[in-house]
Amino acid sequence: MVIRISILIDSSVIIAFHNLDDENHNRARVLMEEIVSDKFGRAYISDYIFDECVTVALIKLKSVEEAVNLGNYLIESEISMIKATENVLLQSWEIFRKRNTGRLSFTDCVNIAFLEMLEIDYLATFDIEFKKVPSIKIIGL
């Protein structure tokens, strides 16, 4: 029997990796090297994470070119992008309404829904709010 492991990458890691001035840049660089080397199995982002990364890059770096570069990197990389279906959105909304610690964004709840529904093993994140979700195995904190 072959056991496949997988990891979902949160925007906090991708943004820190892309932004040389981010306080977590060096940690993100090491973590992304481990992720692309297949240490944690297949790597995923969601379409919500893509949106969040490109938007935050535009706001923080004040450069359309940098936001486009990040978007192109994500699209062209070996990181698979998964798209939220109606079932994922409904599950995310349920998590947001009933299990939210008060500091999880809707996108964070989409991450949790994908982790649970697709049985993804790990979440790469620098967001400490995910520590409040006991079922998540976090890489990066």
Q: What is the pLDDT of residue 111?
A: 95
Cα–Cα distance, 89 to 82 (Å, whole number): 13
Q: What is the pLDDT of residue 1?
A: 41
Task: Give me the half-sphere count of Cα atoms (radius 13 Å) on the Cβ side of residue 94.
Answer: 10
End-to-end CA distance of the chain: 31
- Say if residue 117's pLDDT is above 60: yes
Cα–Cα distance, 39 to 22 (Å, whole number): 24
Label residue 90 by pLDDT band (50, 70, 90): very high
Q: Which helix (H) or strand (E) holds 138?
A: strand 137-139
Length of the chain equals 141
- How do residues 39-61 score in pLDDT, each as one tens digit? 999 999 999 999 999 999 999 88
| 105's tokens | 């964004």
Contact call for residues 127 and 108 (beta carbons, < 8 A) = yes
Q: Which helix (H) or strand (E) holds 83?
A: none
Contact call for residues 83 and 24 (beta carbons, < 8 A) = no
- Which residue in this structure is represented by tokens 């949160």? 10
- Say if residue 2's pLDDT is above 70: no
Q: What is the pLDDT of residue 47?
A: 96
- Say if residue 27's pLDDT is above 90: yes
Q: What is the pLDDT of residue 133?
A: 87
Spell out the domains of the chain, with CATH numbers in brackets. Answer: 6-139 (3.40.50.1010)
